[in-house]
Structure 1
Amino acid sequence: MTPGLLREAAAPLLLLGTIAATALLAVDVWAAAGAAALTGTGHWTPPPAGPALLFGLLRDGPDGVLAAGASTPVFFAVLVTTVTLEVAVGIVAAVLIGNQTGSHDPQRSLLQARELGDLTGQAAMSRARKLRPGTGDLGPSDQGLRLLSIQRREVWMSWEDVALVIMGPRSNKTSAIAVPTVLAAPGLVVATSNKADLWALTSGMRANAGPVWTFDPQRIAHVEQTWWWDPLRAIADADPAERVEAAARLAGHFVGTIGGERRDPFFHAAGEQVLTNTLLAAALSDGTMRDVVTWLQPGQRGAIAALDKAGAGTEAADLEATLSGADVTTKGIYQTARTATKALTSERLMRWVSPPDTWRDAPTTTAPVELDLWDLHAAARHGRATIHLLSKEGAGTAAPVVTALVDRILEIAELLAQASGGRLEPPVVAVLDEAANICPIRALPQLYSHYGSRGIQVLTMLQSYQQGVGVWGEQGMQALWSAATVKLVGAGVDDHAFLQKLSGLIGDHYVERISTSVDRSRTSRQYAQAREPVMPASALRAITRDHAVLLSTGRQVGLGRLHPWYREHDHADIGAYADTALAELRRAAARALGPDNPVNQAEGDRP
């Protein structure tokens, strides 16, 4: 029966229910009186059945229905017991009927708190103990990374999950996901961002628990450079049989920044091969990234000489063949390689990937030291280590270096996991905010499938599904979506095709349809049930900033409330550290403008 029919039949059903309840109560009184007589006299002598029983009970009390010698306590005990049982059965029946007739409520079709399983509570803690058996007693915050709450039950991402977060701009992505995750990471955390807010909100508190490194070539946070990283070390340190693959992996991060109309299939592949061989030449000859940029210039044969000297004849011959080709073709191939490494023409960025003794201008303060990424992981074994990687998108971006850095850190994490019996302890957490713009790791969809099992928790954060398609292609983005065991979709998503797809994953529910017809004598209504999306695309687009849709493997889709840092118990401490960091940032930015800048002069004129 549909809810509409139930509403129209309410009055007759209420009357029938009253009559049935009265009759049932009369039967209860009759049975209780019979039981009382049997107990008191040894004979079953109930009063005559009928409505008169209730009138007699109301008028004269138990004496009006009990035979002589019947036990009054037994009468009341039996009557109260039977009535209580019948009321309980009635309540259960009403709830079941209500669940059936209320199935049109879309919230009933979403993930409920009782269905969370090992995403919450003791089950989540038990799962954490199995995944981190060597950590001793685990505290409440050690059960995983908290994502949101469903019906006031906290939902945790476990230490074998990887996540994909899709939220539009200014949708609490940083405040509710990135900041809490960075602060909660138990060991090494890698965080990328194109703004200073994530760094400002987390670096101070993380510094209390361990070392913090910040990569900031574009002066987003105006952090002084104290270290540099050699991308070629991964090639030089690799097994001789794997050095070409290591060089190709590094080259892919640079060539991957070429997109749109600049991408030509032939020149793209040939340029990547040239860059691979040039990187290999620099690594084998103890060269630097400056040598790579130099050897890609027209007429340069330094890479060929370095490869020949190192005994890499095949790669040297490959470069020789490219240089000996048609002039137009050779120029196109090398121009593609130069375009891929265009970011390195910035001296500011080059200083972060080359030794100080090769800089155009000597360091004015203490020379930065080389950061060995193995030392980075070693530091996380004894405390909480943090590395912030900052880069803007567009012209002058440091995205190729950020991508190479993150990929190498995660590659080392995999090697350490294998050497540790399969899983890292403590886990490595990577928060890849603005991943499509500043950290587009080419192989990320393929790597995602086994990161979680290694104790590497990666959260890839995008502004839209299509943004991921633009980086990894339709198949690659679908692979990334499928490999992510936890998916969060929040506010600000305007991709209609994606929202339609998400609505289909959430599923349908039944809604009531009412059609009314009127003729001369009467009005009639017809009720029917139809299927509609639980959350249509319009509802998904209208999700508020403090909510997100949760998709977790093996469960219904849920809708939960986010936990932005400014609503947490330690928000005052976080805010205080952020205020200090931002104040220093403003002072550093003002110094960078110079004393003759009109803005600084105006500030100096203030009383």
Structure 2
Amino acid sequence: MERRPNARDGVVLPKLGLSMAGVLAGGIVLIVAAPAPLAVEVGTWLTVGGALGLLSVVLMFWQVGRGLIVSMPLWLGYVGFLASRVGAPGGIGTWLVAAGVLVLVSAVLIKVNQPIGAGISVGAWLVYVGLALRALPVSPEIHRWWLAAVAVGAMVSLGTLARVLFSRSSSRGLLRRLGRAGRETDGLASSVDVLRTASARGLRKQMAVLRPSLAELSRWQRRLVRTAELGVKIARVGLVWLWSSTQHHTITFGGPRQGKTQLLMNWILDAVGAVITTSTKQDVLRDTATARAAKGPVWVFDPSGVITAGSEVDALVESLGGTWVRFDPLQGCELAAVAMDRAADLIDGIGRNKSDGQGERWDGFAKQTLQALLHAAALGGYSMYDVQQWVAHPSKEAASTVLYQLEAAGTTAAGMMQEAKQFFTNNPNTQSSISTTIMPALGWLSVPSAAKAAAPGGQQFDVQELLATNGTVYLIGAEDKKTSPLVTALTANIARQAKAIAARSPRERLDPSLTMVLDEAALICLIPLDQWSGDFGSRGITMHIAAQSRAQMRQRFGDAATGALLTNCATKILFGGSADGEDLQYWSTVAGEREEPAVTKDRSTGAQSISTRKSTVLTPAQVGQLRTGQVLIITNGMPPAITNARMTYKRLDVRLAKFRRRPAVRWLTTLTETVADATGGWLLSQAGWLCDQVIAADRAATVRARAVVRKATAPFARRAAGVLAWLDANDPARELIARVRLIGAMRNARAALAARTERERVEREEVQQ
């Protein structure tokens, strides 16, 4: 069927083409030269038939079988329209056109999927034949079989569709669909895959879940809601943008100067609700603070002193009315549960390698001791310096102070009192090991800027205000590890309070969601990401995590925690430039496999055989050789995609903001505003009388317009008043009810009178007997 024309076809097809060309020429001559309308119409039909004939010849020269299949519905449609024009009986023309359409649909279905398409096509043709037998004038013996043909055709089509549904939902069908994914695109995602899995259309379907406050909107009102309120825009794949919803987390890996921070800043700018962002760079604050200040207040927490006084960023924060906040780790530790969480956050902020089993054991002892000391310090009004002294010098005086405060707290601190007593009474070696483990978590006290940022008093951070005002918190940290415990503790405190607030919110989720953009998460923000990423999505807290490599995350959090984190993050984004062979092999494995044709040629006979073989979609070398700005995106439910990252500096709003900040542009804007104000004031002073006249004329026109409207609506108002007066006087509803009641009463009276007459008649007959 799909062969090229042979020698016989090479003789027949040219003759057929010449004859069709003659028919086409004859039709054109009739249209141009013949004066009669009938001749013009005949010429038109001949011209169309000749053109179809030439097209059919060309198609069959391409491939005989496909040319015939494509030409057949065209000729059936042509003959059908011609039969309808000449008035063929029984509507034969319409049936021929329908047959042409059915031939075309059958060919497409069989081409897409041969077994399924053949089953549906056979059923459709049986239904067509049955309906044709019923409508066309045929013999009565054949005519009575139309219903059976339609029934059999419907059963064949429905059976095929049922087989498709069952096969798609079975385990075997799902496995085959996974194997076919990306077969036509070399194993990578296409625009259709993105449209079906991770497009803006999919986010709008989940609007009631993602934003409970928008659940009452109608279907058309939901179309007006910006997609940025439901998720974040990742990148464009083909013609479709790939999105990640607010209940799914993302994780990004990329080395220095690959564009990782530029990608993250998009999500800070697009966030609708409150934002928490951590970074070791001032670029994030410099490039996003102005846009975020338009949505809510700006808070800055800089324990490392990265932002120097009098710098450009410092001036920017002051111009935006930003607040330099403090965070006292003892805040809230009067509660035993808060002290336990705060101690765990400070110890985790050290960043010790989780694969070290012995170190993890001492971390547990350190958390038990530190939580008791924090609880005692908060109860007694002590400071973090006192806690540091208790850890560094566990003297009898320190033990007496701590145990006194815990004992005074009562039964709520009984367990912590035992932990503190155990620490102070331990042998010197164990005591020294616990102190050595705790001291790095308090090392930020030796940094003046960090000690000032953690001092009591001042502007302490309020999470409720952050969520209510859609504010932004910039947590700036350095890579020296000294202040990372403090940044980790503040980030964890905000996240825990936000989770508690979400539990009290409608449907137990924040609306709008809280966005946590955690850049360099393995350096300055060592919160338990593997645990929180599994729960925060359903609470309306979205995390966008970034690190330099998967190996870095494994070193900081351990293999098990990193594996759980990668599983919990629905969208994984990888920049190029990695040189770690294990990481490259991991991403190559996650990208999956594809089927590719394998051609085998016999040298002796020249025969070829084509088969398929499995190969990786991306080799480790290809993953590592991604160009600067290119990313590999792996998201749930679709094949991987390679595209260009969405850089912040390419955004139109960012470019316009930078253009407006130029000195020349600001000077010109200020000059234009000054000239406009001066010109407006001069015009008002010089042409005030004209302004008064314009205002007076406007008022007069308004009065006249109201009079015209009243005059135009007066007849309708009078008629409406008359109708209301008639209804008030006559009250047809009341009269109708009265009539109904009267009719019912008369019916009952007649029935009673008839019963009485019948009773008297019966009594008279009894008396006479």
> Which range, TM-score by smaller chain?
0.7 to 0.9
User: Any conservation in 2 of the 1:307–1:313 contact (CA below 8 Å)?
Assistant: no
Offset of 1:160 from its aligned partner?
Answer: 1.2
Residues 407-434 of structure 1: per-residue CA shift (max 9 Å, x gap): 1111011001001130101110000010
Q: Which residue of 2 aligns with 1:392?
A: 478
Within 5 Å, give how 1:282-297 maps onto structure 2: 282-297=377-392
User: Any conservation in 1 of the 2:576–2:624 contact (CA below 8 Å)?
Assistant: yes
User: Any conservation in 2 of the 1:355–1:370 contact (CA below 8 Å)?
Assistant: no
User: Any conservation in 2 of the 1:166–1:463 contact (CA below 8 Å)?
Assistant: yes
Q: Which residue of 1 aligns with 2:420?
A: 319
Which deviates more from structure 2 when the two are superposed, residues 408-417 or residues 491-500?
491-500
Q: Which residue of 1 aligns with 2:618?
A: 535
Q: Which residue of 2 aligns with 1:44?
A: none
**How has the CA–CA distance of structure 1 residues 394 and 84 changed in structure 2, closer, same or farther, with 3 Å as cutoff?**
same
Offset of 1:525 from its aligned partner?
Answer: 4.2
Offset of 1:453 from its aligned partner?
Answer: 0.4
TM-score of the superposition, structure 2-length normalised?
Answer: 0.59
User: Any conservation in 1 of the 2:355–2:555 contact (CA below 8 Å)?
Assistant: no
Which of 488, 496, 500 lines up with 2:581 in the alignment?
Answer: 496
Q: Which residue of 1 aligns with 2:326?
A: 228
Which of 286, 293, 298 lines up with 1:207 in the alignment?
Answer: 293
Which of 363, 367, 377 lines up with 1:272 in the alignment?
Answer: 367
Within 5 Å, give how 1:402-417 maps onto structure 2: 402-417=487-502
1:217 matched to 2:284: no
* Residue identity opposite 2:190 in structure 1: Q
Offset of 1:493 from its aligned partner?
Answer: 3.1
Which of 618, 633, 639 lines up with 1:550 in the alignment?
Answer: 633
Offset of 1:232 from its aligned partner?
Answer: 1.3
Residues 452-477 of structure 1: per-residue CA shift (max 9 Å, x gap): 10000001111111111112211111
Q: Which residue of 2 aligns with 1:594?
A: none
Offset of 1:351 from its aligned partner?
Answer: 0.9
**How has the CA–CA distance of structure 1 residues 80 and 313 changed in structure 2, closer, same or farther, with 3 Å as cutoff?**
closer
Which of 433, 441, 445 lines up with 1:332 in the alignment?
Answer: 433
Offset of 1:190 from its aligned partner?
Answer: 0.5
Please give the alpha-carbon distance, in whole angstroms, between the structure 2 residues aligned to 1:129 and 1:467.
Answer: 38
Please give the alpha-carbon distance, in whole angstroms, between the structure 1 residues aligned to 2:235 and 2:608.
Answer: 44
User: Any conservation in 2 of the 1:417–1:455 contact (CA below 8 Å)?
Assistant: yes
Residues 354-412 of structure 1: per-residue CA shift (max 9 Å, x gap): 137xxxxxxxxxxxx232333xx324323x311111112135x3111111111111101
User: Any conservation in 2 of the 1:281–1:303 contact (CA below 8 Å)?
Assistant: no
Offset of 1:85 from its aligned partner?
Answer: 7.2
Which of 180, 187, 190 lines up with 1:109 in the alignment?
Answer: 187
Within 5 Å, give how 1:307-456 maps onto structure 2: 307-311=403-407, 312=413, 314-355=415-456, 369-374=458-463, 377-382=464-469, 384-394=470-480, 397-421=482-506, 422-441=508-527, 443-456=528-541
Unaligned ranges ≥5, structure 1: 1-8, 30-53, 59-65, 357-368, 581-607
Q: Which residue of 1 aligns with 2:4?
A: 13
Please give the alpha-carbon distance, in whole angstroms, between the structure 1 residues aligned to 2:97 and 2:207.
Answer: 49
Please give the alpha-carbon distance, in whole angstroms, between the structure 1 residues aligned to 2:83 and 2:376.
Answer: 108
User: Any conservation in 2 of the 1:235–1:243 contact (CA below 8 Å)?
Assistant: yes
TM-score of the superposition, structure 1-length normalised?
Answer: 0.73
Q: Which residue of 2 aligns with 1:164?
A: 251
Please give the alpha-carbon distance, in whole angstroms, between the structure 2 residues aligned to 1:394 and 1:71.
Answer: 86
Which deviates more from structure 2 when the two are superposed, residues 548-557 or residues 454-463?
548-557
Which of 374, 391, 401 lines up with 1:305 in the alignment?
Answer: 401
Offset of 1:229 from its aligned partner?
Answer: 1.1
1:477 matched to 2:477: no
Q: Which residue of 1 aligns with 2:277?
A: 191
* Residue identity opposite 1:381 in structure 2: A
User: Residue 513 of structure 1: SS of its match in structure 2?
Assistant: strand
1:120 matched to 2:190: no
Residues 519-571 of structure 1: per-residue CA shift (max 9 Å, x gap): 5xx64544432111122222222223333233333333333432212222213
**How has the CA–CA distance of structure 1 residues 457 and 267 changed in structure 2, closer, same or farther, with 3 Å as cutoff?**
closer
Offset of 1:506 from its aligned partner?
Answer: 2.8
- Between Structure 1 and Structure 2, the one with more helix by share is 2
* Residue identity opposite 1:503 in structure 2: S
Which deviates more from structure 2 when the two are superposed, residues 312-321 or residues 188-197?
312-321
* Residue identity opposite 1:478 in structure 2: G
* Residue identity opposite 2:580 in structure 1: D
**How has the CA–CA distance of structure 1 residues 526 and 387 changed in structure 2, closer, same or farther, with 3 Å as cutoff?**
same
Please give the alpha-carbon distance, in whole angstroms, between the structure 1 residues aligned to 2:11 and 2:516.
Answer: 65
Q: Which residue of 2 aligns with 1:359?
A: none
User: Residue 393 of structure 1: SS of its match in structure 2?
Assistant: coil
Please give the alpha-carbon distance, in whole angstroms, between the structure 1 residues aligned to 2:353 and 2:374.
Answer: 18
User: Any conservation in 2 of the 1:517–1:525 contact (CA below 8 Å)?
Assistant: yes
Which deviates more from structure 2 when the two are superposed, residues 219-228 or residues 485-494?
219-228
Residues 194-244 of structure 1: per-residue CA shift (max 9 Å, x gap): 1111111111221222211112233323366833111211322x3x5x355
User: Any conservation in 2 of the 1:205–1:577 contact (CA below 8 Å)?
Assistant: no
**How has the CA–CA distance of structure 1 residues 390 and 226 changed in structure 2, closer, same or farther, with 3 Å as cutoff?**
closer
1:568 matched to 2:651: yes
* Residue identity opposite 1:288 in structure 2: S
1:175 matched to 2:258: no
User: Residue 429 of structure 1: SS of its match in structure 2?
Assistant: strand
User: Any conservation in 2 of the 1:255–1:272 contact (CA below 8 Å)?
Assistant: no
Q: Which residue of 2 aligns with 1:39?
A: none
**How has the CA–CA distance of structure 1 residues 318 and 88 changed in structure 2, closer, same or farther, with 3 Å as cutoff?**
closer
User: Any conservation in 2 of the 1:511–1:531 contact (CA below 8 Å)?
Assistant: yes
Please give the alpha-carbon distance, in whole angstroms, between the structure 2 residues aligned to 1:297 and 1:70.
Answer: 103
**How has the CA–CA distance of structure 1 residues 107 and 275 changed in structure 2, closer, same or farther, with 3 Å as cutoff?**
same
Q: Which one scores higher on RCO, CA 8 angstroms, separation ≥ 6?
A: 1
Within 5 Å, give how 1:41-60 maps onto structure 2: none
Taking every aligned residue pair, what percent have the same amino acid on both sides? 22
